[in-house]
Amino acid sequence: MKRSFLFPGQGAQYPGMCRDFYDKAETVKDLFNIADSVTGRDLKSLLFDGSAEDLKQTENTQIAVTLMNLSIRRYLIANGLTAESTAGFSLGEFSAMVEAGILTEEQVLPMVIERGEIMARVAKENPALAGGSAMAAVIGMSSEDVSSNVEGIEDAYAANFNAPTQTVISGTAAGIEAATAKLKEAGARRIIPLKVSGPFHTPLLDDAKKYFVKYISGLEFKDPVKPIYSNVTGKRIGSGIEARELSGLQIISAVKWVEIESNMISEGVESVIEVGPGKVLTGFWKSASKEIICQQTGTVEETDKIN
């Protein structure tokens, strides 16, 4: 069976996350020890005891979600479940790069801390964001209609193509306010503000891209050992060199998740597991395929039911 691991990104975090996996599996405890060693942080305290507000800050969110993603991956592998392909949503792409053999756990854990700190710093320092930033999910309107309505509005962008009738817009607070008004007038069924701390996947974070590209320039990105699909292109990543380039571009580029799902299905995926907290990607997958069910792993209880 052609199975794929899908890794979630920011927004999936919650207080107390991963504690049940830590308590049950030595392989997860080992990963937490590695994580504390390579990052110099007490990550058990962040994940197990951090508040929702603590975990919302991107400098904390990125390491917390990545550590849980990789913990559940370890738990699945220890229980005999492996994958033939992989992809990750936004931040989750870095977990997918571990699954694809492009990066190691020891590389990724400090990398996502640096990525989160860079993005948080740029979001605070960019004069264009002095009035704040915002993201919102637009429900009940095609991605094409969202894009055409947002186009031309200053500092507002279509950022995540989640499902055929769900697109996230991102930008300055003023830009998203203007876009929201226009999209409601154009017939969007619902527009849901998201709890985020930056205008992710927009050119407003171009400085973050530059700083992150400099940071990863000296790190080794190996060629993938299995198919991995890029957020930036929606297609397979062909080499380690391409993976490094796309890792920088991803910060300012829209997430082409609908295209990723379509390509996975056309290339023969038969089983999908959401490897991480929450069920966001499971929901997106329902729009892509009624025949192939995406299974969840947010808790030990859910994960133990997978076969």
Rounded Cα gap, residues 193 and 176, in angstroms: 9
Helix, strand or coil for residue 135? strand
C-beta of residue 173 within 8 angstroms of C-beta of residue 134: yes
Q: Within 10 A of 61 (CB to CB), how many other CB atoms are there?
A: 26
Residue 287 appears among annotated catalytic residues? no
Edge-first strand listing for the sheet containing 190-193: 156-163, 166-172, 133-139, 190-193
> What Rg do the C-alpha atoms of the chain give, in angstroms?
18
> What's the one-letter identity of residue 66?
T
Among 119, 156, 153, CA closest to 136: 156
Rounded Cα gap, residues 94 and 170, in angstroms: 21
- Which residue reads 């490897």 in tokens? 275
From the candidates 201, 230, 247, 253, give the one annotated as an active-site residue. Answer: 201
What string of DSSP letters covers 22-46? HHH-HHHHHHHHHHHHHH-S-HHII
Residue 90 appears among annotated catalytic residues? yes
Torsion sign (Cα): 133, 134, 135, 139: negative
What string of DSSP letters covers 270-281? -EEEE-SSSSHH
Torsion sign (Cα): 215, 55, 285, 255: negative
C-beta of residue 141 within 8 angstroms of C-beta of residue 185: no
Q: Which residues are catalytic?
A: 90, 201
